[in-house]
Chains A and B, each alone.
Chain A
Amino acid sequence: MLQRAIQEHPVVLLPSHRSYIDFLMLSFLLYNYDLPVPVIAAGMDFLGMKMIGELLRMSGAFFMRRTFGGNRLYWAVFSEYVKTMLRNGYAPVEFFLEGTRSRSAKTLTPKFGLLNIVMEPFFKREVFDTYLVPISISYDKILEETLYVYELLGVPKPKESTTGLLKARRILSENFGSIHVYFGDPVSLRSLAAGRLSRSPYNLVPRYIPQKQSEDTQAFVTEVAYRMQLLQIQNLVLSPWVLVATVLLQHRPAMDFDALMEKTLWLKGLTLAFGGFLMWPDNEPADEVIQSSLLLHSNIASLDRDRVVLKVDSRDSEVVDGLIYQHITLLTCSAYRNQLLNVFVRPSLVALALQAAGGGKKEDVYCRFRFLRDVLSDEFIFLPGNAVKDFEEGCYLLCKSETIQVTTKDILVTEEGKPVFEFLIGLFRPFVECYQIICKHLLEEEKDHFTEKEYLARVRTFTSQLLDEGASQCYDVLSSDVQKNALAALVRLGVVERKKVNNDCVFNVNEPAAAKLEEMLDGKTPVGKPVTAKL
Chain B
Amino acid sequence: RSGARIRAQVGSLCPASRVVSALPQLTPSRPANLPCSLPEASPCWSQSGLAGRGRQEVLKWNGWGYNDSKFIFNKKGQAELTGKRYPLSGMILPTFKEWIENTLGVNVEHKTTSKASLSPSDTPPSIVNEDFLHELKKTNISYSQEADDRVFRAHDHKTGHCLHEIFLLREGIFHRIPDIVLWPTCHDDVVKIVNLACKYNLCIIPFGGGTSVSYGLKCPADETRTIISLDTSQMNRILWVDENNLTAHVEAGITGQELERQLKESGYCTGHEPDSLEFSTVGGWVSTRASGMKKNVYGNIEDLVVHIKMVTPRGIIEKSCQGPRMSTGPDIHHFIMGSEGTLGVITEATIKIRPVPEYQKYGSVAFPNFEQGVACLREIAKQRCAPASIRLMDNLQFQFGHALKPQVSSIFTSFLDGLKKFYITKFKGFDPNQLSVATLLFEGDREKVLQHEKQVYDIAAKFGGLAAGEDNGQRGYLLTYVIAYLRDLGLEYYVVGESFETSAPWDRVVDLCRNVKERIIRECKEKGVQFAPLSTCRVTQTYDAGACIYFYFAFNYRGISDPLTVFDQTEAAAREEILANGGSLSHHHGVGKLRKQWLKESISDVGFGMLKSVKEYVDPNNIFGNRNLL
Contacts and interface: CB of A to CB of B under 8 A. Distances in A.
B262 interface: no
B188 interface: no
A128 interface: yes
B518 A125 contact: no
B580 interface: yes
B579 A199 contact: yes
A200 interface: yes
B431 interface: no
A127 B580 CA distance: 12
A215 B511 CA distance: 25
Nearest to A203: B582
B601 A199 contact: yes
B282 interface: no
A199 B576 contact: yes
B507 A125 contact: no
A200 B511 contact: no
B462 interface: no
Interface in A85-116: none
Contacts of A200: 579-580, 582, 601
Contacts of A220: none
B515 interface: yes
A206 B581 CA distance: 12
Contacts of A207: 507-508
Interface string A12-52: 00000000000000000000000000000000000000000
Contact of A202 (B512, B515, B582): B582
Interface residues of A, number: 10
A86 to B, nearest CB: 13
B314 interface: no
B535 to A, nearest CB: 13
A126 interface: yes
Nearest to B518: A128
Given A202-B582, A206-B507, A207-B507, A125 B576 contact: no
Interface string A185-212: 0000000000000011011001100000
B507 A199 contact: no
Interface in A107-142: 125-128
Nearest to B579: A199
Contacts of B579: 199-200
Interface string B493-525: 000000000000001100110110011000000
Contacts of A203: 582
Nearest to B519: A128
Contacts of B519: 128
A125 B601 contact: no
Contacts of B511: 125-127
A199 B511 CA distance: 15
Nearest to B512: A125
A127 to B, nearest CB: 8
Which residue among B508, B579, B580, B582 has the maximum number of chain A CB atoms within 10 Å of its CB? B580
A291 B552 CA distance: 69
Interface in A145-199: 199
A128 B582 contact: no
A200 B582 CA distance: 7
Contacts of A206: 507
Most buried by A among B512, B518, B581, B601: B581
A366 to B, nearest CB: 38
Contacts of B508: 125, 207
Contacts of A126: 511
Contacts of B582: 125, 200, 202-203
Interface in A38-71: none
Residue of B514, B518, B576, B582 with most chain A CB atoms under a 10 A cut-off: B582
A203 B512 CA distance: 12
B576 A128 contact: no
A125 B505 CA distance: 13
Contact of B514 (A128, A199, A202): A128
A189 to B, nearest CB: 13
Nearest to B504: A203
Q: Which of A125, A127, A202 has the most CB of B within 10 A?
A: A125
A204 to B, nearest CB: 9
B580 A128 contact: no
A40 B519 CA distance: 30
Interface in B576-613: 576, 579-582, 601
Contacts of B581: 125
A126 B507 CA distance: 10
B518 to A, nearest CB: 5
Interface string B316-337: 0000000000000000000000
B601 A128 contact: no
B507, B514, B515: most-surrounded residue (chain A CB, <10 A):
B515
Interface in B545-600: 576, 579-582
Contacts of B580: 125, 199-200
Nearest to A200: B579
Nearest to B578: A199
Contacts of A202: 582
A447 B507 CA distance: 57
B302 to A, nearest CB: 23
Contacts of A127: 511
Q: Which of B508, B512, B519 is packed against the most chain A CB atoms within 10 Å?
A: B508
A96 B424 CA distance: 48
A199 B601 CA distance: 10
A295 to B, nearest CB: 53
Contacts of B576: 199
Contacts of B515: 125, 128
Nearest to A125: B581
Interface in B77-126: none
A501 to B, nearest CB: 43
Nearest to B598: A199
Nearest to A126: B511
A202 B511 CA distance: 14
Contacts of B601: 199-200
Interface string B126-155: 000000000000000000000000000000
A138 B508 CA distance: 43
B149 to A, nearest CB: 42
A528 B415 CA distance: 87
A193 to B, nearest CB: 10
A73 B579 CA distance: 31
Interface string B232-252: 000000000000000000000
Interface in A204-238: 206-207
Q: Which one of B511, B576, B601 has the highest number of Cβ atoms from chain A below 10 Å of its Cβ?
A: B511
Residue of A127, A202, A203, A206 with highest tally of chain B CB at under 10 A? A203
A127 B518 CA distance: 11
Nearest to B583: A203
Contacts of B514: 128
A200 B579 CA distance: 7
A126 to B, nearest CB: 6
A200 B515 CA distance: 15
Nearest to A206: B507
Nearest to A87: B511
B305 to A, nearest CB: 29
Nearest to B515: A128
24 contacts: A125-B511, A125-B512, A125-B515, A125-B580, A125-B581, A126-B511, A127-B511, A128-B514, A128-B515, A128-B518, A128-B519, A199-B576, A199-B579, A199-B580, A199-B601, A200-B579, A200-B580, A200-B582, A200-B601, A202-B582, A203-B582, A206-B507, A207-B507, A207-B508
Given A125-B515, A202-B582, 9 more contacts: A125-B508, A126-B511, A128-B518, A199-B576, A199-B580, A200-B580, A200-B582, A200-B601, A206-B507
**10 closest A-B pairs (Cβ-Cβ)?**
A203-B582, A125-B581, A199-B580, A128-B518, A199-B579, A128-B515, A125-B511, A126-B511, A125-B515, A200-B579
Interface of B: 507-508, 511-512, 514-515, 518-519, 576, 579-582, 601
Interface of A: 125-128, 199-200, 202-203, 206-207
